[in-house]
Structure formats: C-alpha cells, structure tokens
C-alpha cells in the first residue's frame, strides 16, 4: 500500500516538478476522504538551502536515511549532467531493495538511470532529453511517445505536467479510482489524459547535404495538397525510382511516402489549431484523399483524434 513518500532533493531543484509531488502527495485532503500520506522531503544536507532559481531557495527537513523505508521515493527534474550524489542513488536502490517504488518526473529519469534502475526497463523522460537518456543509459528502453511508463518498481514520467499523470496513476493503482479522482478534482486536472508527448513535438524539415534534395523538400511542403507520387519526384530529381527512393532515405531518414504523410499531418495540426474549417476540408487542404484517411494517420502519428487535438490546442476561433 502506498502510505509513505520520500522526495529527494539535491543541487538545483526544479520547482514545478517538486510542486507536482507536493500537490499530489503532500497536501492534507483528509477532509475530502483522501488518506493522509506520510510525506518526507529529504536531501544530503537537511536544513541547508537549495536553489530553485530567481533567488528562491528551499530547505529539506529530512535526511536521506529517513527515506530508506518509504513506500515510494520520488525524484523531481533537475540536472542531466550525471552529477548526482552517491547517497541519493544508494537511497533509491535501498527503497527498491526493500520492496518500495521509484517515481521520476521529467529529467529525474536521469537519476534513476545513474542508480542503475533503468537497466532492462522501459522508461520515458521529456521528449527533448530522450536521445540523451538513451545514449547515457543504453540498457534502458526509452520511449518518448508516452506521458509515463510503469515498469516494475520504477515509474518514469515525461515533461513537467506528466508528473501529475504518473502520480495520480500510482494513487489510482494503490487506493483505487475514487481517491485519485478526488485529488484530481481538487487540483482541477483530468484524472487521466489520453495521448502522449507526440502531441507536443515539432518535426522540422531536415537539413539535407544535397542542395537538390533540400529544394525538393521545400517544393513538397509547398504542394502538399497535390497528388504527389514517388515516380513524379524521381523525375524531378532526374533519377530512377529505385535510386531516388534510396537517396531520399539516405538524406532524410524516412521513405518519401512516410515523410509526405508526416508533413501532411504536421500541416493538419496547424490548420486544426488556427482555423475552424471542418476536418474534411483540412484533409483536402493537406492532400489526404478523405477525412477517414486523415484521422487514421493523425491518430497513428499524434496519438489522439483530430477533433480531440483541436479541442486541446486550438485558438479561440478554431475551438468555437
């Protein structure tokens, strides 16, 4: 059962991520029927000021040894420089060895990696840091398409607000949906969000070493509403279809059809955000043969349906 939570602070503390953990686990909501958690904030130097930016500091009242017996040890985001105190890493390992769990928020996954807790496990972090996490800890299976990953005793969450999703998930898992929903209602957040980080990631047009391919990509982006075939593109580049397809993958990293599909999805995201035109019209403008085809590729790429995306990200006019 999830009753005691220890939050480990060190170095420069990411205030929002720390605030997420405090909001979910540290506030007394017994008046709403939510169990009271034993919430401990600890650091290697209890009582000493830790920087959170803008001249603000916090001081942890507990020592690390006070957190070795908790049910859950949580690590907010912070440094990704692999400069973590060994006593922090040892505390995390001790909690897992005692049957407890680990929760990381955003770049806090790097601390779990340094402790060896991501080896052989799926995990996530903020989409900007995913490649670096994978390089630093190659035995981890990094997935930056999701909001959080629950793998064994380790739960990792993506950027900032995804820590709310992961924290409520752990409450729901331990105490059931009623208590998780009550906490979510008090925080004025959804108890569960659909989709993943893909909704927030921009995919810029790649820089090509071949100037001709760079010009071709610019042309393709400007003519997405047209029926563009691979054979037509090969003719524009004065190549055979097979040679063109191979060179395109070498330059861009994707097949021509897949790259076109991704660009059409990107353009549809922009139209959904900035206009109120129907999905059928969006599909036509970006070159999909039907709204059904747009919905299929949009869901596969972004993780949510077009209308869900519009509701979440649209400007006032489009939302109306």
Q: What is the pLDDT of residues 54-102, one digit of tens each?
A: 889 999 999 999 999 999 999 998 888 888 999 999 999 999 999 999 9
Q: How confident is the model at residue 44 (pLDDT cuts 50, 70, 90)?
A: very high
Is residue 190 within 8 A of residue 184, CB to CB? The reply is yes
Taking the C-alpha atoms of residue 48 and residue 278, their distance in angstroms, rounded to an integer, is: 57
Tell me: pLDDT of 34 over 90: yes
Token pair for 214: 């760079």
Fold match between domain 4-199 and domain 211-319: no
Q: Whole-prediction pTM value?
A: 0.67
Backbone φ and ψ for 59, nearest 5 degrees, come out as -130, 130
Assigned superfamily of 211-319: Homeodomain-like (1.10.10.60)
For the stretch 189-218, pLDDT in tens is 876 666 666 655 555 556 567 778 888 988
Average pLDDT of the chain? 89
Reference 69, options 40, 94, 44; nearest CA is 94
Mean pLDDT, residues 219-223: 90
Q: Which residues contact 57 (CB under 8 A, 6 or more apart)?
A: 49, 50, 51
Taking the C-alpha atoms of residue 5 and residue 18, their distance in angstroms, rounded to an integer, is: 13
Distances (CA, A) of 92 to 12, 73, 79, 241, 263: 19, 7, 17, 55, 43
For the stretch 144-188, pLDDT in tens is 888 899 999 999 999 878 999 899 989 988 898 888 888 988 898
Check whether domain 4-199 has CATH 3.40.50.300, yes or no: no
Is residue 167 within 8 A of residue 21, CB to CB? The reply is yes
Taking the C-alpha atoms of residue 293 and residue 195, their distance in angstroms, rounded to an integer, is: 19
Extents of the domains making up the chain: 4-199, 211-319
pLDDT at 172: 86
Q: How far is CA 113 from the centre of its chain?
A: 17
Taking the C-alpha atoms of residue 35 and residue 202, their distance in angstroms, rounded to an integer, is: 40
Q: Which residues contact 18 (CB under 8 A, 6 or more apart)?
A: 7, 9, 52, 58, 76
Taking the C-alpha atoms of residue 294 and residue 67, their distance in angstroms, rounded to an integer, is: 50
């Amino acid at each position: 059962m999830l009753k005691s939570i220890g939050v480990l602070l060190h170095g420069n503390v990411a205030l929002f991520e720390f605030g997420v953990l405090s909001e979910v686990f540290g506030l007394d909501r017994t008046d709403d029927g939510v169990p009271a958690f034993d919430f401990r904030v600890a650091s290697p130097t209890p009582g000493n000021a830790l920087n959170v930016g803008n001249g603000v500091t916090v001081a942890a009242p507990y020592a690390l040894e006070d957190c070795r017996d908790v049910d859950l040890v949580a690590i907010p985001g912070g440094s990704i420089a692999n400069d973590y105190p060994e006593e922090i890493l040892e505390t995390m390992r001790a909690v897992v060895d005692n049957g407890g769990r680990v929760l990381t928020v955003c770049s806090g996954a790097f601390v779990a990696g340094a402790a060896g807790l991501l080896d052989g496990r799926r995990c996530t972090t903020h989409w900007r840091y995913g490649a670096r996490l994978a390089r630093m800890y190659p035995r981890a299976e990094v997935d930056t398409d999701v909001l959080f990953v629950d793998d064994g005793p380790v739960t990792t969450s993506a950027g900032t607000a995804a820590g709310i999703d992961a924290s409520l998930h752990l409450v729901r898992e331990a105490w059931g949906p009623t208590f998780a929903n009550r906490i979510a209602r008090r925080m004025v957040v959804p108890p569960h969000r659909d989709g993943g980080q893909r909704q927030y990631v921009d995919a810029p047009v790649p820089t090509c070493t071949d100037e001709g391919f760079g010009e071709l990509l610019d042309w393709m982006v400007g003519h997405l509403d047209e029926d563009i075939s691979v054979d037509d593109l090969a003719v524009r580049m004065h190549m055979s279809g097979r040679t063109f397809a191979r060179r395109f993958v070498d330059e861009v990293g994707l097949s021509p059809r897949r790259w076109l599909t991704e660009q059409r999805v990107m353009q549809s995201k922009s139209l959904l955000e900035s206009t109120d035109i129907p999905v059928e019209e969006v599909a036509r403008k970006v070159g999909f043969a039907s709204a059904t085809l747009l919905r299929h590729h949009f869901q596969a790429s972004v993780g949510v349906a077009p209308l869900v995306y519009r509701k979440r990200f649209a400007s006032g006019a489009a939302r109306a």
